[in-house]
Structure 1
Amino acid sequence: MTDFSATVRTATAALRDLFPETPLQRNDYLSDRYGADIWLKREDLTPVRSFKLRGAFNAMRKIRERDPSQTHFVCASAGNHAQGMAFSCRHYGVRGTIFMPITTPQQKIAKTRAFGGDLVEVVLVGDYFDRTLASAQAWCQEQGAYFLAPFDDDDVIEGQASIGAEIMDQLGKAPDMVVLSVGGGGLASGVSRFLREVSPETDFRFVEPTGGASLKAALGAGAPHRLETVDSFVDGAAVARLGDRTFAALSWVNPENVILCPEDRICVTMVEMLNVEGVVLEPAGAMAIDALDDVADQIAGKTVVCVVSGGNFDFERLPEVKERAQRFMGRKKYFILRMPQRPGALRDFLMILGPDDDIARFEYMKKSARNFGSILIGIETTDPANFERLFAEMEVQGFGYRDITHDATLAEYLI
């Protein structure tokens, strides 16, 4: 056993003071779909509903062992890392100051305070995370506290690697493939390093959201590279720059084994897992399952473990998730309709709709000085093929239209 795998085993044993190992469950639904033996490592079932507790606890444990006088910890986080640190602070009876963006949902703020109790103070600073992070680091230096990084820390990486140790013990053999989500890289670097040492035959796939592909960018540049823009929808993995330490641990990865998942397709997976399996996943937590579509031709008959990284989902976001899923599946479209301003024109349009077509959005601006008016209309249907018939009939009837479903600029302002 190497030094790393040995320390990971020690970290895994220490975690049992905090919570039992998370389940490794065979999923019959996914196994049947892909003709493989699909297992889900349920990190959404930790006390804070994500894997982040592992790294935060392990780092705090080792810091306390090295310096028992360290009793004040600071972090910057908009979600799971904050909750993991708060839980660890309560366990050790130490102070925690957690900086969060002002825009953080109240649900996440409340959970962080609940996990930390009187030992943890939440400080709301900045509209965006970069400002929050800078404030936290500056304040931490002034106070002489210890800054607990969310991913770019050797002890945090070691703590996340405990997932790999549990997989090996629970499965009883080496998996053929492990699918890992990537944000800052702590989970991916820790688990892959451990498993490469103890089961070198295991293959890996790394999954990022299309709008936050920091690992893909780093591998292409040969070093961590800051993305110019990041889509924040997959908030648990929308990281602009991979960590230095995590990149060092992942620099061996073949870029072809990094899968980019469209945000709207992740929504399809979230809705499907909720409706079919009753499993509540956050966007980042659904990525490993979502990526199975991309490796379907590579996993037949194989044992595959998907690490479900978290389930901190705010149900106020469910309408948006369902909306994006429907658009991705082609069952909902938005378009601007050019409507003749004559009596009966609207009725003529409505007669074109089929029995499975439902109007979900309708905004009409009549301008009396013009012969035509514009309508923003959204239509849901049960089969994407219904739109082909609808659009063909609209053209025959002389109704001009512009499909804006995937026009990001117009959709942002109109939908």
Structure 2
Amino acid sequence: MEIEQLMEGISLKRSVESGTEEQRAAVKEILLKVRNEGDAALYELTKRFDGVDLHSLRITEKEINEALQGLSDEHLAIIREAAKNIKSFHEKQLRNSWISTDESGTMLGQKITPLDSVGVYVPGGTAAYPSSVLMNVLPAKAAGVKRIVMVTPPAKEGGISPAVLAAANIAGVTEIYSVGGAQAVAALAYGTETIERVDKIVGPGNIYVALAKREVFGDVDIDMIAGPSEIAVLADDTAIPEEVAADLLSQAEHDTRACSVLVTTSRELAEGVAAEVEKQLGELPREEIARAAIEKFGRIFVADSLEGAISAINELAPEHLEIITRDPMNVMAKIRHAGAIFLGRYSSEPVGDYFAGPNHVLPTNGTARFSSPLNVDDFQKKSSIIMYSEEAFKANSEKIAAFARLEGLEAHARAIEVRRK
């Protein structure tokens, strides 16, 4: 990894993944086909893109039970414990409806209502991500969503990963369908004969899934358009090079466009981490992917001061931020922009990916400046409550009518004045 002296800040922002003109056109064609042809389009497109000739879209109870039986007791116990941690964390985010009344008798408030239905997209095919199931489903469950639909592409042999099915069962998914890609997003957004439409779509996917989510936004809500993964480590001379290098590579192995950055006040640590990254790269099964990411988006910056390092991190606004310093709590208090913050030597990023409880669906590409991790609020909506008393109406009606006329809306003013007669 290159070592640079930190000057004014860090600029590693990658272009937003907006796809090619051909990809966007293909996605629009798929969405229209599913909207017009329903289930028939899902079967046809699954055969075309996944090479699987499905006989049924919905996963049966028998298949789910077989998946549970097919996993070891150890793996099931780990998934259940992770689910318990994630559920506990997100239940603490719950808000309550509220109402306040003033001396005139006017009542104002806010009503919290869970969404009726949510669709969860889980990547599949050659990979299996049970952690993605837990992180997207459990906040929705905590929010009170009754209908949670999961879609995931079938493997070449036509099945779905037992670990994914087990995680869905443990998390409380109500329906599971063996379909992926832009066609799955279309089914969730518009509905088909078998799959009833949902109110919101969450979960990661490839470029076609991302573009499809962007296209259907407005017909349904979506969580975010997530980019490649990122990690920044803010460290002083107390950090251990071998551990920091391993953490940087934990994200680099995700994607050739993943971003791994170390900002440190120690030149000795910088040199040690650079050597360790090169050493550990050669030991990784996904070396080709990780090496490409490190060469293009991997950097080590040496800062003159801790304050300068903190300022650079806030400018970067990373998805994942590890703080490995003498006093990580004090440093954390000065961080304004980061998706998830990991404090201390033992809070390695994968702790958050799988087990601790906070959500691993995080803002990327600098959007932590204005976005938050996936949370319970994403699965609830808020309605305002207004009940004006006669006393308050009489006291304020002239002002309300005057405000309406200030905007040139005479009917608004008359709607108030008709009640004053």
TM-score range, shorter chain: under 0.3
Q: Which has the higher relative contact order, 1 or 2, with Cα contacts under 8 A spaced 6 or more apart?
A: 2
TM-score relative to the length of structure 1: 0.28
TM-score relative to the length of structure 2: 0.28
